[in-house]
């Protein structure tokens, strides 16, 4: 059966697992390593599709859980699918909704068949199974869709038995997702590796999940409460165990240093809400670290968020003092401009990382991006 996704590795770093490649989908191609802005409810908050595209973003993420609840995947299907509905004509990836069902919802019951939870919209009881998750994602029509997995929480209270159950369920549910997938020549289904911080379980999960031939594979269940050191340990262990000829996706991560560690471990694809969530809260990312634009020190500062940045905020001449005013006055333009800047920040970082891989220029990268040198900048990410 012909795959709807093609992955070509163009260059591999001599000193690590990092590689530069290109993913081609029915709605276009994009270079890897790639960062996906999060458009949870078919919208990257506050930004027109052309503004997102202008940041250098070529693929975005939407969430099946939220779109299933509102407006409903069947309605989106009748509107021509997610690309037409949200007017984003490039590649889209949809998350299965598993993480949200387990972490956000008022769960009524978890069993080997699926999850029953209370809708955050109207309180009605919802049943989400592997088959239903795939049906929703088939309706949405994204280029890359994710298997429904059991994402166990992190923390010292999560026992080995719960992690093993999550691993075993994830593998069984993946088999059901493959069987339920009604559009395999149009949508690429990725499997997800679980196992928490238990490296033996991670190895077992990677072996079992990758035994099923799929267009790509993901590392799930990280950045769910564990610290950056554990995130890095799990990713460095797991990524090389995924097939080298398929795209590797690290879900829900993260800060700049987290991305770099993952890329050097062989990861190709990332998503995170950090750029836009921080942008809405007056926090701007720069090569040297984050700025809080509500601080009074910026009130009479005319310079841009970051000199040399070519985003619509910096390149458009909007100074820090003006941006502070927008946030203090409650004007929506502030979150829009800083969100644009933050997404562009991450896309510029990925551009430079790809250059560093091609040219073996890691020392240049660390000089150009001081934030990568500071371990305090690496921290757990914020999921959708």
| Catalytic machinery residues | 95, 271
Give the span between the Cα atoms of 328 and 322, in whole angstroms.
Answer: 10
Give the span between the Cα atoms of 92 and 202, in whole angstroms.
Answer: 27
Give the span between the Cα atoms of 176 and 149, in whole angstroms.
Answer: 11
Task: State the DSSP string of 56-118.
Answer: T---EEEEHHHHHHTT-HHHHHHTT-HHHHHT--S-EEEE-SHHHHHHTSEEEEEETTEEEEE
Q: List strand residue ranges (DSSP E) for the chain, in order.
A: 6-12, 19-25, 28-32, 34-36, 60-63, 92-95, 106-111, 114-118, 125-128, 144-146, 188-193, 216-219, 248-250, 269-271, 283-286, 289-292
Q: Output the six-digit token pair for 95.
A: 């998350």
Among residues 123, 229, 214, 228, the alpha carbon closest in space to that of 171 is found at 214
Task: State the DSSP string of 98-111.
Answer: HHHHHHTSEEEEEE
């Amino acid at each position: 059966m012909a795959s709807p996704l093609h992955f070509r590795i163009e260059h591999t770093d001599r000193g690590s697992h990092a590689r530069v490649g290109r993913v081609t989908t029915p709605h276009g191609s994009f270079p890897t390593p790639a960062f996906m802005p999060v458009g949870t409810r078919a919208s990257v908050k506050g930004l027109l599709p052309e503004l997102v595209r202008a940041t250098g973003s070529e693929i975005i993420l939407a969430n099946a859980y939220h779109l299933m609840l509102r407006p409903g995947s069947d309605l989106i299907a009748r509107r021509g699918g997610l690309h037409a509905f949200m007017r984003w004509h490039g590649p889209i990836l949809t998350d299965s909704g598993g993480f949200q069902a387990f972490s956000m919802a008022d769960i009524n019951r978890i069993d080997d068949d699926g999850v029953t939870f209370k809708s955050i919209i109207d309180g009605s009881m919802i049943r989400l199974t592997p088959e239903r998750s795939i049906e929703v994602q088939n309706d949405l029509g994204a280029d890359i869709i994710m298997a429904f997995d059991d994402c166990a929480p992190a923390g010292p209270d999560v026992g080995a038995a719960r992690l093993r159950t999550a691993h075993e369920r994830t593998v069984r549910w993946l088999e059901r997702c493959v069987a339920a997938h009604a559009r395999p020549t149009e949508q690429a289904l990725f499997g997800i590796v679980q196992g928490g911080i238990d490296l033996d379980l991670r190895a077992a999960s990677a072996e079992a999940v990758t035994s099923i031939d799929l267009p790509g594979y993901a590392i799930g269940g990280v950045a769910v409460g564990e610290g950056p050191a554990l995130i890095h340990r799990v990713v460095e262990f797991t990524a090389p165990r995924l097939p080298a000829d398929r795209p590797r996706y690290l879900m829900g991560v993260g800060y700049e240093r987290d991305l770099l560690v993952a890329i050097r471990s062989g990861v190709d694809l990332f998503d995170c809400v950090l750029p836009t969530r921080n942008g809405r809260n007056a926090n701007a990312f720069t090569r040297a670290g984050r700025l809080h634009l509500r601080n009074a020190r910026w009130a009479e500062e005319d310079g841009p968020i970051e000199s040399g940045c070519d985003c619509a905020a910096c390149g458009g001449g909007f100074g820090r003092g003006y941006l502070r005013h927008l946030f203090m006055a409650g004007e929506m333009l502030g979150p829009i401009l800083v969100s644009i800047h933050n997404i562009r920040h991450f896309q510029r970082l990925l551009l430079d990382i790809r250059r560093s891989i091609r040219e073996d220029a890691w020392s240049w990268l660390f000089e150009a991006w001081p934030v990568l040198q500071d371990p305090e900048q690496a921290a757990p990410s914020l999921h959708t």
